[in-house]
Structure 1
Amino acid sequence: MHIAEGFLPPLQCALWFAASTPFVIHGAREVIRKAKESPENKMLLAAAGAFTFVLSAIKLPSVTGSSSHPTGTGAGAILFGPPVMAFLGTVVLLFQALLLAHGGLTTLGANVFSMAIVGPWCGYAFYRLVRRVNGPAWLGIFLAMAVADLATYCTTSLQLALAFPDPVSGFAGAVTKFLGIFALTQIPLALAEGVLGILLFGFLGRVVPHELRRLGVLSSKNTGAEKEASHA
């Protein structure tokens, strides 16, 4: 999913940087605020960033000739909200570009927009929807993780289609082509990430249940959902 160095036109790189910067600045302020709220938040913020770093660094070959990887951004969005992931995701992508040659510096704004902004917000929207209708906790977690993953790849497909429109069918044809390369093969991986999210929060529910309740992930008003998450 990470768009490689020099793969986008300079003007589009600048525009994606401009679009991402306000979210990242707001996210940095949220990280500082959350860290000051409670010492325990610092540990979970670090865990959310590390989880995203590890998952998004795993590159798996796909049948379409590209590569795929999980994103892990849904976990941090569930714990602290999507704004936090804009900053944490930027740190992750910056380190990956510098240390792993995964993504690039000129394309950092575009990669941040897809993985650290659109992905977390889309995943969090599904998580809140499930919570609003009093759905089971495991379903909200599953959808948040899976949708955040898939939405990232759909956004990347749109970004590449803008940069490389099809000579015949233009932007629409390019979107179809890139969605077929990236998003279609990402569906099984997104579903697997959803299952991994359930296991992750099941572990956290056993280790730090009080912290999940404090953050509103486990609600005392929905004991059935709470038991499902903590015993996943």
Structure 2
Amino acid sequence: MHIMEGFLPPAHALGWSLAAVPFLAWGVHRVGRGLRDHPDRRLLLGVATAFSFLLSALKLPSVTGSCSHPTGVGLGALLFGPAAMVPVGFVVLLFQALLLAHGGLTTLGANVFSMAVVGPFAAYGVWRAATALGAGRSVSVFLGACLGDMATYLTTSAQIAWAFPDPVGGFAASLAKFVSIFGLTQVPLAMTEGLLTVLVVNAMVRYPLDEWGALPVLHRGARAKVVR
């Protein structure tokens, strides 16, 4: 779901960049404060960053100007809270644009907004809702990671549809087209990401370390603080 370099009109590229900046500043503040309180979680945050970098680099061609891939941000959002994943996603997307030609600098703001803002907040919100409704850890984690991925895909579809509305049906027709094309590859990818995230979280539960601390996804039902 990385929109490629130069694909968006300049006004759209600038607009999405401006929309992402406040979330990025907020995320940097929350991560800095959280790591000052829990410096032992630095390594784990690095692992969550590597997880997102690796998964989101596994791209499949989808439609002109973009691609389908897992996002990997759900794991970090569930471990540290969604705000932490905004600067993490920014770093991941920046390095992929510079080193892998995956995405681009002009579309960095749009990609950050979809993958590092919408995705993590959707994943965290779904996980919280599922947990509150009494779902087990595995079900809650799966739904959070899977639907967080889907939220990113829907946002990217909307971004492209807004930039390139259908000549006849306008935004709605263009959105329906991009959603249907993306969905062929993104739905199974999202389900796969959900299952992989469950495996990682369950492995962490089986092999607890002191640095896990009171991370809420690992202590279902505990009133633990996330990195804020």
Would the TM-score normalized by the shorter structure come out above 0.5?
Answer: yes
CA offsets, 1:120-142, max 9 Å, x none? 11111110011112220001110
Q: Which residue matches 2:226? A: none
CA offsets, 1:27-52, max 9 Å, x none? 01111112111232101111111110
Q: 1:209 to 1:183 in 2, by over 3 A?
A: farther
**Residues 205, 212 of structure 1: 8 Å contact kept:** no
Q: Over the residues paired in the alignment, what is the CA RMSD in angstroms?
A: 1.7
Matched, 1:136 2:136: yes
Q: Secondary structure at the match of 1:134?
A: coil
Aligned counterparts of 1:12 and 1:55: Cα–Cα separation in 2: 27
Q: Which residue matches 2:124? A: 124
Q: Which runs of 5+ in 1 are unaligned?
A: 223-232
Q: TM-score, normalised by structure 2?
A: 0.91
Aligned counterparts of 1:204 and 1:109: Cα–Cα separation in 2: 33
Q: Which residue matches 1:50? A: 50
Q: Percent identity?
A: 52
**Residues 143, 194 of structure 1: 8 Å contact kept:** yes
Query: Superposition pairs for residues 184-223 of structure 1, below 5 Å?
Result: 184-208=184-208, 210-212=210-212, 214-219=214-219, 221=221
Q: Which residue matches 1:179? A: 179
Q: Which residue matches 1:59? A: 59
Q: Secondary structure at the match of 1:214?
A: coil
Runs of 4+ that moved beyond 6 A: none
CA offsets, 1:179-231, max 9 Å, x none? 11113431111111110011111121123355445112233658xxxxxxxxx
Q: Which residue matches 2:225? A: none
Aligned counterparts of 1:221 and 1:146: Cα–Cα separation in 2: 21
Aligned counterparts of 1:127 and 1:73: Cα–Cα separation in 2: 13
Q: Which residue matches 1:34? A: 34
Instruction: Give, as a single letter, the amino acid of the residue that structure 1 aligns with 2:158.
Output: L
Q: Which residue matches 1:19? A: 19
Q: Which runs of 5+ in 2 are unaligned?
A: 223-228
Task: Tell which has more relative contact order, 1 or 2 (C-alpha 8 A, sep 6+).
Answer: 2
Q: Which residue matches 1:227? A: none
Matched, 1:84 2:64: no
CA offsets, 1:75-130, max 9 Å, x none? 01101111111110000000000000000000000000000000111111110011
Instruction: Give, as a single letter, the amino acid of the residue that structure 2 aligns with 1:7.
Output: F
